[in-house]
Amino acid sequence: MRDASRLSGGRTEPAVSAAPEPAGDGHMDGGSVKAPPEAGTPGVGTARPPRWHLVLASFLMLFVELFLIRWTAANNVYLAYVTNFVLLGSFLGIGVGFLLARSSVEMFRLVPVTLSALVGFVLLFPVSLTSLHGPHRLSGGFGLPPLPQWVSLPVIFVLTVAIMAGIGQGVARIFIRFESLEAYRLDILGSIGGIVVFSALSFGQMRPVVWGAVLGAGLLVLLWPNRRHWQLAGVIGIVVLLGIESTSSIDHWSPYYKVTASRPPKHKAAVLNVSANNIPHQTIYSVNKLRQLEPFYFYPYRHLHGNPLNQVLIVGAGTGNDLAVALSEGAKHVDAVEIDPVLQHLGVLYNPNHPYQSPRVSVHINDGRAFLENTAKRYNLILFALPDSLTLLPGSSNLRLENYLFTLQAMQEARAHLLPHGTFAMYNYYEPFLLDRYASTIKAAYGRPPCVELGASLAARRQAVLTIAKSGPVAACTTFWHGRSVAPATDDYPFPYLPVRGIPWFYVWTLALILAASFLTVRWAGGPLRRLRPYADLAFMGAAFLLLETKNIVQFALFFGTTWLVNSLVFAGVLVSVFFAIEVVRHVRLPSPPFLYLALLAALALAWAVPQDAVLSLSEIPRFFAATAIAFSPVFLANLIFAQRFKDVGSSTAAFGANLLGAIVGGALEYLALLTGYRFLLIVVAALYALALLAGRRHLSGASSG
């Protein structure tokens, strides 16, 4: 198995990297330290509200952001092309909301309407992949053609900005009625609550109606003193629409995807068809049907010759096809690794050979690379069994769940877990360049080319099985790979699906349009852009912190697996680091800003100097402490610097606008990784903080913190 949002997923890293606003949900490097509003500020009273109002508002802001990122991607495959599209729209909206905190423009009270409009639009105009070739590969709702991409994506982006601007304005109007650092820590506490609750609901495989009930309840509580009937109707509409979607008996909501499992017509050979986020994913067959229809499942076993199959590892066990084949071929024990618990459960329920019920099988719900890094077992046969079956649509910038399985280092790790006469094999439907890349990677890891066996074609893809022995030639092989050499993906550059290094033009144009829209929106909400010039250092800080956070999320995915738990812990870890930084600023007199900048650059230099392989080589607990220290020291120091600087700008919306624009630029700079790899982002981060130091040098002498 088998993004994103990310979380992510991410990219599964949604909420945290989405928070540039200093006074917003606290996900970025700073929280605004605003003075109380002047009398007559629209929507702001004179009495300070209870603290829980701000905690709840911040909770709601992060929860809705995560909901939008996860749920829209589950219903519209266009979002597989631009994996941080909703993310960028979210933090642009939050920033606009804060810029409008003192405006007569009322956006918060419109949130029930804008959110119900987005939910209705996405459900009315879904986009699914239904065919791999021909002019009608995509379909919309009710059997109709889908809306064009240039219509669907802008509507989702505009509505996302409107929703988050409304919630951001609601948070800001409560925020500015508190003492600055007190408001900021309450904001962070609410944000931590948001990530904890959303992660718990995802882990519990809750359906969208539960998400809708949580956000609807939060909206009603915040709107209650001045609620209107149309606002109540909007909230009810959200819950009802999500409730209707949740009644589908064929949809299951795993921690990663909307998994749709449907039985084909009776005359079909398949037992169950499975799609994930509206993309065809897996099909369950009996072993006998697999022998007839998909014989490539059996190819690796033709090359074992005396290998007893005492221990077999299957990475990407999915719904159990590969597992059933291994058992039928005489495997005495199989470790079945599958990252998605819903896919494994569907295999338990529907696979006609019942492989998961076999006493010869041990099930591990885990990331495949993480399992390899943490086990000491060695195997007669290791199979990478179609773990990349969600590659039917491009999404080159997406750190998919399986990307770290296909790097050179992963292949070397698999080789290290083979017994002396063990065998490694991987198979799928590959495009030509991808077959050459994987074969090149195996050759680099083992020192000789793999055996290659080709099968039927599926559009531009073709069945292929790559097999290699740990030592000596592959037995009974008639054809060894002799194709074009393609540079392997690496742990620093984990993009196997990108044919060549570079940023595809689709991303360039999309990011250019988002940046243009951001500048125009900030100009409308915050006034002339020349007002931002004195706050250039804050813009550099915003861009640097977003990149730093991206690097940390990716690094933890490598060290501990691309699982929902790891992503959630990273998001929460960033927020906790911000919270501790606030507490330090509140209670400790800090050194001068130049000293903190020097410490930050030293922490970044350390993160650059420590090789990833050195951290991976540690056992799990020491690896956790080492990775945490390397990743979160710069985060903590960056927040100390931001708090010092922003304390002096008071309630300036221009300062906030500069930080917002910087963060959005940072979101675009993230795509540099497609050219340089992720490690190079540390150099970009250091350069941006150095520019922040130079741009804000006139503020350094008077900066202090008590």
Amino acid found at 15? A
Distance CA 449, CA 142 (A): 49
Which tokens sit at 608?
A: 């650059």
Measured between alpha carbons, how far is residue 551 from residues 393, 628, 667 in Å? 24, 13, 12
C-alpha–C-alpha distance, residues 543 and 402, integer Å: 28
Tens of pLDDT, residue by residue over 598-656, are: 999 999 999 999 998 899 888 888 998 898 899 989 999 998 888 777 666 655 556 66
HEC readout, 302-314? HHCCCCCCCCEEE
Q: How many CB atoms lie within 10 A of CB 215?
A: 25
Q: What angle do CA 134, 138, 142 make, to 5 degrees?
A: 125
Please write down the HEC assignment for all residues of 98-137: HHCCCCCCCCHHHHHHHHHHHHHHHHHCCEEECCCCCCCC
The CA distances from residue 459 to 268, 293, 350, 392, 467, in Å, are: 21, 17, 28, 11, 24
Token digits of residue 12: 């599964």
Per DSSP, the three-state class of 138 is strand
* Strands 272-276 and 279-284, sheet pairing: antiparallel
- Mean pLDDT, residues 364-392: 86
Question: What single DSSP character describes residue 480?
Answer: B
Band (354; pLDDT cuts 50, 70, 90): very high
Count of positions (residues) in the chain: 706
Decide which of 102 and 44 is more confident: 102
Q: What is the 3-state secondary structure (H, E, C) of 391-434?
A: CCCCCCCCCCCCHHHCEHHHHHHHHHCEEEEEEEEEEEEECHHH
Residues 143-184 pLDDT 10s: 889 999 999 999 999 999 999 999 999 998 888 888 777 887
**Residue 237 above 60 pLDDT?**
yes
Per the CB < 8 A criterion, the answer to whether 385 and 355 are in contact is no
pTM over 0.75? The answer is: yes
Q: How far apart are CA 330 and CA 304, in angstroms?
A: 12
- Using pLDDT thresholds of 50, 70 and 90, give the confidence band for residue 8: very low
Q: Which residue has better confidence, 15 or 479?
A: 479
**Structure token pair of residue 462:** 């073709």
CA distance 455 to 181: 64
Distance CA 521, CA 146 (A): 29
Please state which architecture CATH assigns to domain 285-389+408-469: 3-Layer(aba) Sandwich (3.40)
Quick one: the chain helix, strand, coil %, rounded to 5?
Answer: 55, 10, 30
CB 492 within 8 A of CB 679: yes
* 498-526 pLDDT tens trace: 888 988 888 888 889 888 888 888 888 87
**Residues 6 or more apart from 501 whose CB is under 8 A from it?**
493, 674, 675
3-state secondary structure of 397: coil
Q: Which two tokens stand for residue 666?
A: 């940072």
Which DSSP string do the residues of 161-228 spell out, in sequence order? HHHHHHHHHHHHHHHTTS-HHHHHHHHHHHHHHHHHHHHHHHHTT--HHHHHHHHHHHHHHHHGGG--
Q: Provide the sign of the torsion angle of the four alpha carbons 143, 149, 151, 154, taken in this order.
A: positive
Domain ranges of the chain: 14-37+44-246+501-699, 285-389+408-469
Encode pLDDT of 275-317 as tens digits: 999 988 899 999 999 999 999 999 999 998 778 899 999 999 9
Query: 């992949």: which residue's tokens?
Result: 129
Cβ-based neighbours of 268, under 8 Å, separated by 6 or more: none
How much is the pLDDT for 458? 79
Alpha carbon distance 291, 325 (integer Å) = 9
Fold of 14-37+44-246+501-699: Growth Hormone; Chain: A; (1.20.1250)
Q: Does residue 22 have a pLDDT over 70?
A: no
The structure tokens listed for 532 are 């931002």
Amino acid symbol at 385:
A
Tokens of 513: 């349009």
The sign of the CA dihedral 281, 282, 283, 288 is positive
Closest C-alpha among 429, 427, 290 to residue 351: 290
